[in-house]
Structure 1
Amino acid sequence: MTVLTTYLVEDSPVIQQSLIATLQELTPVAVVGMAADEQAALQWLADPAHEAELVIVDIFLRSGSGVGVLRGAQQNKPPRHMVVLSNYATPDVRATCMALGAQQVFDKSTEIDALILYCQTLAASGMQPAPAA
């Protein structure tokens, strides 16, 4: 099973730590970096030396938004698997995120198990390249 290099865009230190612990315990994920705001995330993602196959993005950040991260990341090469993990996974938010290239949108309060399954499935697939947006 492939280890997924993963970048986390989340502004809550408590959620960062608990999510990393959960993912690393239950999935083949190695978190290679984190950002708490849109600008820092986009700077990291734009650097071709930074490798992350999976990017997990929250919608509401310290400054900027996860929607801005998705929009900005569309230009990055190679494309990455982008997923959203938010407390605000409403139908409208889901549609917006999917239109901006997110492969999946997960609700933090009810769909952590689905995120874990997604990571396990992605790793087991041998990390097929992310579809071009």
Structure 2
Amino acid sequence: MSDKGKTLLIIDDSPFIITGLLHQPEGLPSLQKVYTAENYADAQPILQSSRPDVLLLDIHLPDVNGIEVLRRVKQLYPSVVVIMISNQEGDVYRTRCKALGAAHYIDKSTEFHLVSQIVSSFL
């Protein structure tokens, strides 16, 4: 992939998590734009108009389950790299998300500090 002008969309309903995630990618020179949304309804127009290169997607959203959002995004926008983020430990969610097309699964409680590195690997 070319590393110029890439876009990132973060969908997470926690302002604390969004703020933390926004501070991590600052060191990624390949990011041209970072969008945020607290739910799927707010993210839909961004997905349609901006077609982000990478999507950081929480499993627990207030309007639509993140796993269902993953399914929809991969069906409608298969080129979008989806990285799931969740506090859900264990292989059940990780395995399910990978089977639905997630490129990576980040456990917020143990791997949050790796977000920038993981996003960078997909740009």
TM-score bracket relative to the smaller structure: 0.7 to 0.9
What SS class does the counterpart of residue 52 from structure 1 fall into? coil
Is this contact kept in 1: 2:5–2:33, CA < 8 A?
A: no
- Give, as a single letter, the amino acid of the residue that structure 1 aligns with 2:94: R
- Aligned sequence identity (%): 28
What 5-or-longer segments of structure 2 have no aligned partner? none
Number of residue pairs the alignment of both structures matches: 120
- Residue in 2 aligned with 1:65? 65
TM-score (norm 2): 0.83
Which structure carries more helix by proportion? 2
CA gap of 1:3–1:108, structure 2 versus 1, over 3 A, is farther
State the distance in 2 between where 1:54 and 1:70 align: 12
Question: What's the TM-score once normalised by structure 1's chain length?
Answer: 0.77
> What residue in structure 2 maps to residue 74 of structure 1?
74
Equivalent position amino acid for 2:120 in 1: Q
* Structural RMSD (CA): 2.0
Query: Which blocks of at least 5 consecutive residues in structure 1 are unaligned?
Result: 124-133
Give CA deviations for 1:25-66 in whole Å, capped at 9, x if unaligned. x33345432221233334432x1x313100000001122111
| Greater shift in the superposed pair: 55-64 or 34-43 | 34-43
Equivalent residue number for residue 97 of structure 2: 97
